[in-house]
Amino acid sequence: MKKFITLISLVIIIACKNDDKQADSIVPQPKIIHEFGFTLNNFKVINDTIKSGEIFSEILLKNNIEYARILEIVNTVRDTFNVRSLKAGKPYTILAKKDSTGQAEVFIYQHSKIQYTVIDFRDSIPVAHNKSKPVKTVIKKVSGVIRSSLTESMKKAGLSPYLAYKMEDIYGWSIDFYRLQKNDRYKLIYEQLYINDTVPVGIGEVKAAFFEYGDKPYYAFKYKIDSTAKLSDYYDDAAKTMKRQFLKAPVKVSRISSRYNLNRRIAFYGNKIRAHKGTDYAAPVGTQILSTANGVVTESRYAGGNGNYVKIKHNGAYSTQYLHMSKRLVRVGQRVSQGDVIGKIGMTGNTSGPHVCYRFWKNGVQVDPLRQQLPASEPMKKDKIPAYLKYIEPIKIQLDSIEFPKKSLF
């Protein structure tokens, strides 16, 4: 009996050892990687970035493509891709042969995280295609409380600073972002864009927003009035347009360094009382200056203390002026639309730092633009309001259900 048990044990041990040998002999299969429309496993993959001063021919030469062939590639694909448009810092990928030559077969240039160009020269006639990576859209819901500024609040919450620009675009006619108070609050429902399901590549539309500014609530909902409308606009919870005839400020994301003040003492003039009939928005040199409303340019020139400036007539009642530009980008007689770039921040004329002095005329008299009750744009037609209110009802419920962060998070 003991011999039989010993024999069985030996058989089991030998079988286990054979199983181990079989397990060891199984070679794991490499993961198949698909990207840019290619199976990357079939190539030697070289990832790099464009160096300063580096050109297309230089890249292909060092990847074993002869100059005559490079010239042929450049001439063949020029209508699709200009090889001179390569920018330093942009990533590219070379797909090369896996043999001893390591010769390049495909060049892929990434314009952005989404857009790229493929130049395929495996065949005798090279081809180029401009392509986009598949983008996944995910609806996000967020909220925040202002402690210092909107941008800082979003930064602390781990949100894209671009959302601050979006908020300023939406509320630029109704909220003065230079006068935000501590504990002002906001909520957002917006689109976050991803590639490869997990890599964030940007912000899509802000579908709806709520801003509590000075204890007053401001709702905003993006809505296309009818299917023929090319663009969507933002309206509040009473179907009133968020737009006004004038933007609150001519510069995005800056600060007010000096306000309209008829009794201000100015250091530049020996601290003498001298009326300051403008509002100064400080920002780095080169920052874009925007027309605050539609109109016609009546002046665009250089003059003494004003430096480079532009003046725009909006209608029979309103005109605006923008001083101390480093560069003027419009001419007299040119029609401009609200938000058009008309110049850039500078220090021309009498100024101690880079800013734009924004001046505002109403019926021929200079007034403080921040104290004006500015007229609204064209309202929604009455027959469109019921459909709009029905559309926003569930979205408003979603907005209201978003909780504000606890103070300890900020």
Is residue 385 in some structural domain?
no
pLDDT above 50 (res 408): no
- Read off the CATH number of the domain in which 78 is found: 3.10.450.350
Which residue segment(s) compose the domain that 204 sits in?
A: 136-244+402-409
Is residue 9 in some structural domain?
no
pLDDT above 90 (res 197): no
Distance CA 81, CA 100 (A): 30
CA distances from 9 to 12, 17, 21, 99 (A): 5, 12, 19, 51
The total number of structural domains in the chain stands at 3
Digit-coded pLDDT (tens) for 347-400: 999 888 899 999 999 888 999 988 877 766 677 889 999 999 999 999 999 999
What is the C-alpha R_g of the chain? 31
Would you say 153 and 184 are in contact if contact means Cβ atoms under 8 Å apart? no
CA distances from 257 to 64, 151, 202, 273, 286 (A): 58, 18, 32, 18, 17
Same domain, 314 and 239: no
- Which residue has tokens 């202002």? 146
Would you say 39 and 33 are in contact if contact means Cβ atoms under 8 Å apart? yes
Give the model's pLDDT for residue 405.
Answer: 85
Residue 250 has which token pair?
A: 């001519």
Would you say 31 and 85 are in contact if contact means Cβ atoms under 8 Å apart? no
Distance CA 278, CA 262 (A): 10
Distance CA 180, CA 202 (A): 26
The alpha helices in 101-180, defined as continuous H runs, are 150-156, 162-171
**How distant is the alpha carbon of residue 75 from its chain centre?**
34
**Boundary (domain end) residue, out of 132, 160, 190:** 132
Residue 156 has which token pair?
A: 């602390």
Give the model's pLDDT for residue 359.
Answer: 94
Is residue 389 in some structural domain?
no
pLDDT band at 320 (very low <50, low <70, confident <90, very high): very high
Same domain, 294 and 227: no
**Boundary (domain end) residue, out of 78, 110, 132:** 132
Would you say 247 and 370 are in contact if contact means Cβ atoms under 8 Å apart? no
Same domain, 156 and 66: no
Distance CA 157, CA 332 (A): 45
Cα distance from N-terminal residue to C-terminal residue, the chain: 78
Would you say 191 and 140 are in contact if contact means Cβ atoms under 8 Å apart? yes
Same domain, 167 and 207: yes
Beta bridge partners of 300: 310
Is residue 67 in some structural domain?
yes
Same domain, 267 and 213: no
Same domain, 89 and 104: yes
**Boundary (domain end) residue, out of 116, 132, 148:** 132
Is residue 7 in some structural domain?
no
Digit-coded pLDDT (tens) for 81-135: 999 999 999 999 999 999 999 999 999 999 999 999 999 999 999 999 999 999 9
- Read off the CATH number of the domain in which 280 is found: 2.70.70.10
Same domain, 112 and 183: no
Would you say 188 and 219 are in contact if contact means Cβ atoms under 8 Å apart? no
Same domain, 69 and 124: yes
From 293, 341, 289, select the one nearest 317 (Cα to Cα): 293
Least confident of 232-241, 311-320, 349-358, 366-375: 366-375
Distance CA 163, CA 157 (A): 12
Residues ≥6 apart with Cβ < 8 Å to 393: none
Same domain, 123 and 194: no
Same domain, 206 and 238: yes
Give me the DSSP letters along 106-126: EEEEESSSSEEEEEE-SSSS-
Is residue 76 in some structural domain?
yes
Same domain, 333 and 285: yes
Is residue 150 in some structural domain?
yes
Residue 98 has which token pair?
A: 């896996």
Digit-coded pLDDT (tens) for 141-195: 999 999 888 888 888 888 888 898 889 888 877 787 877 888 999 999 999 999 9
Give the sign of the dihedral formed by CA 325, CA 329, CA 330, CA 331: positive
Digit-coded pLDDT (tens) for 14-59: 555 555 555 555 667 778 999 999 999 999 999 999 999 999 999 9
Distance CA 245, CA 223 (A): 19
Distance CA 65, CA 63 (A): 6
Same domain, 260 and 365: yes
Is residue 160 in some structural domain?
yes
